[in-house]
Every structure is written in structure tokens, then in C-alpha cells.
Amino acid sequence: MKLLPIAALLLATAAHAEDTVSRQIDGMYPQLDAIYKDLHAHPEIAFQEQRTAARLAAEMRKIGFEVTEKVGKTGIVAIYKNGAGPTVLVRTEMDALPMEEKTGLPYASKVAAAHSCGHDVHMTAWLGAARTLVALKSQWKGTLMFIGQPAEETVSGAKAMLDDGLFKRFGKPDYAFALHSWPLAYGRIGYNSGAVSSNSDAIEITFKGRGGHGSAPDKALDPITIAARFVVDVQTVISREKDPKEFGVVTIGAINGGTVGNIIPDTVKVRGTIRSYSPAVREKILAGVRRVANASAAMADAPAPEVELIPGGVAIDNDDALVTRTEGVLKQAFGEAQVFRMPAMTASEDFSLFVNQGVPGMFFFTGVYDPQAVAQADKGGKPLAFNHSPFYAPVPEPSIKTAAQAMTLAVMNVMNGSAAKP
């Protein structure tokens, strides 16, 4: 009998695992579809995910996980022990956005909240991966730590869970994975080593003046002109102080002050956001914003403003070794053309707080749109609705199946050093 080369055996083993995982997910998809549409139709915003958490907890108990609820207010932790081996954390987010959905889908939200960032896709794929891993438990050893995190949209849920003793109560994992839907073609998976999301900091500045009549501005001290000067001048921190090769953004999203056109107000409130990748750029921008705010007031001989620069999400730093180890499995399963490295997103995420506890982690992106629609948009056709759009509408079945299969294979790969045993 002629023996196959070792490389061929490994490829055959991986292919067997992919087929097994795919068949498992195909078989359970009708149940996953019903869960997805239920979650989509009943969204709940940050730290109000009572119904959502209860639904996920019930489903995980059915699979065989030990579930603890109300970790970090509304978070859940589901543990499944399957012998000696690594502990792998798999995170999903549960919260929706406080906005009206405008997709017109038959299962659209009817309340003032919407899953316009794909967290319903993530939760459903999370359940699918959990079911599949338990069904294939003979092919891996270790402990699954599946967590349902609240309040990702306010980048506060991960901190709440950690502050509630997540790793002290349930153990510190050896690896951590999370995924996020993205306006790519379904079946595609994007990822990178190093930074894959941005740091975020909120700007809250109150400029102080002296109120008066609009017809006599010399008798007043106008904080609106001070705020206007700041909004323009702060951009020079980005264009003239930051290294142009490094990412950094300052956006002012709200200016609130005054009541009518002929009254100069006492104060003006300016709100905005700062985004960056590197810690050095982050510190430079923070210092620049504070300096420009104070200088804008000083130029008008006004009182010093109240400047609050509020930390938000920290950039996710994907572990290079884990990414390298995982990408081979994903490329084998989905094809070289479908699995690719992509630039970091400019949005922020708090999954970073878990990996920053010293846990090697990988955060990756999965597509949700018809490939033809993506191709047409790339050629200048109808634009695709981006995350947080009221029209964001993933194509459920291929999006969920891809995400569930990718997560399952990623976890199995670190559980036993290969995708599965022959």
C-alpha cells in the first residue's frame, strides 16, 4: 500500500474537518435562522439586553453549557469543559443601537432600536459555533468560554464584565476570538495582525463667555466665536502636528449653545471624537486638543474652558502568531481569494480590554452582502449600507453560516493544533 505524504495527509484531515463543520451548520440552520430573526426583531440597547441575554442563556443551556447570568450587569458567561486543554474565549456582543430601522424587512425592529451593526448576526453565529463545537467534542479537548457581552456600542460592556471579576471567577483564557460583520461579500473573511480597530476618546468642552444682546457684542463675551475658532484650528493638530503616515482623526459632531438669534449665550458646549491607532499619536492628539481649546479661549481673553477628554475604546492588537496559525485553516476552508488581510477599521471596539489582560486574541471580519451587489458598488453603482446605517441589512443565511464555520474552525485549531483529528 502506498502511503500519502504527510503534507497530503494534513490537507486531507483539514478538508475532512471543514466538511464536517459545514454539514453540522447546514443541518442546524433552520433553527439558527429563526433565532436570528427573533433577535433582529427585538433589539435592546446597552445594558438593557434583558430579553436578549435570557434567550442566549437558554439556548446555551440546551447545548450543555454551564451559564452564569448578570455578569457585568446584563452579560452572560457560558462554560463547557471537555477535558484537559486550553481555555478559549469566544465573545459576542448583545446590544443594539438607539435608532430607527428603515430596511423594510418583514422581521424588522418595530421599536426605537435596531441591530444596524450586525450584532444579531454575531450572536447567531456564536450559537452556531457553540452547537457545532459540542457536537464535535470528540475532535478537541479543552474549555470553551463563550461570553455574551453587553454595551459594546458604548465601549463599556467589556470593562463591566472584567470589573465584575470575569477572569477571576471563570479563569483567564489562553486564547480569545471575536468576529464582526462588515460590508464585504458574504463568504469573505478579512483580518490583520497588529491593530485592527482604533483608539477612541470623546471630546466634551464647555467654552465660557458672558451673555448679552446680539446688537451689542462689545458688552458681552461671545463663546460661540471661541468655539468656532476651536473647531477650525483643532484640525491643524491633524494636518500639521501628526505624522501624515499615521492615522488620526478629530471630528466635532455637536455644538450646543444659545437659544435665539439676538442673544449671546454664556456658554457653548462642543462634543466630538478622536480616533487613532498608535498610543503615541493618541497622546499627541489629546494634548493638541486641550492646548488648542485653551488657546482659543485665551485669544478672546475668556475664562479657561472646561475640557474633558474621556477615554473610550482601546485599539485591538491582534496577536501575530495566532493570526498566522488561524489564517491557514481559514484559507483551506474558504479559499485563498476569500480570506485576506485588510487594513484596520477606523471604528472602535472594546474586545481589546479582554486581550489586553495578556490573552492572545484575534478579531476578524465576515461579509454580509451579495457578491454582485458588492461588485456593482465597487464600480460606482448603488452604494452599500454601512454599519450603523438604518438600511443595514445582511443576507442572513450565507452570512451566518460563514461566520459560524469560521469561528468553529478557529477554535478547533487552537484546541488541538490542527483543524481536527482524522
For residue range 299-316, list pLDDT tens digits in order.
999 999 999 999 988 999
Residue 416 has pLDDT above 90, yes or no: no
Residue 8 has pLDDT above 90, yes or no: no
List residues bridging with 307 in a β-sheet: 205
Share of the chain above pLDDT 90, in %: 93
**Coil vs helix vs strand at 195:** strand
- All 3 cell numbers of residue 341? 488581510
Question: Are 140 and 82 spatial neighbours (Cβ–Cβ below 8 Å)?
Answer: yes
- Interval 270-282: pLDDT, tens: 999 999 999 999 9
Q: What is the mean pLDDT of residues 57-74?
A: 98
- Whole-number average pLDDT of the chain: 94
Query: Is domain 6-197+315-416 given the CATH code 2.160.10.10 in the classification?
Result: no
Confidence at residue 101, expressed as pLDDT on a 0 to 100 scale: 98
Confidence at residue 417, expressed as pLDDT on a 0 to 100 scale: 56
Question: Are 379 and 308 spatial neighbours (Cβ–Cβ below 8 Å)?
Answer: no
Q: What is the mean pLDDT of residues 22-41?
A: 97
pTM: 0.90
- Give the separation between CA 138 and CA 132, rounded to whole angstroms: 11
**Coil vs helix vs strand at 64:** coil
- Interval 197-208: pLDDT, tens: 999 999 999 999
Confidence at residue 14, expressed as pLDDT on a 0 to 100 scale: 55
Residue 13 has pLDDT above 90, yes or no: no
Q: How many CB atoms lie within 10 A of CB 31?
A: 14
Q: Where are the domains of the chain?
A: 6-197+315-416, 199-311
- Give the separation between CA 392 and CA 200, rounded to whole angstroms: 23
Confidence at residue 18, expressed as pLDDT on a 0 to 100 scale: 83
- Give the separation between CA 136 and CA 39, rounded to whole angstroms: 26
Same topology between domain 6-197+315-416 and domain 199-311: no
- All 3 cell numbers of residue 417? 493544533
- Give the separation between CA 296 and CA 128, rounded to whole angstroms: 54
Confidence at residue 17, expressed as pLDDT on a 0 to 100 scale: 78
CA distances from 142 to 86, 393, 417 (A): 5, 36, 12
Confidence at residue 211, expressed as pLDDT on a 0 to 100 scale: 97
- All 3 cell numbers of residue 157? 460592556
Confidence at residue 420, expressed as pLDDT on a 0 to 100 scale: 38
CATH of 199-311, one of 3.30.390.30, 3.30.300.20, 3.30.70.360, 2.70.50.60: 3.30.70.360
Total residues found in the chain within this entry? 422
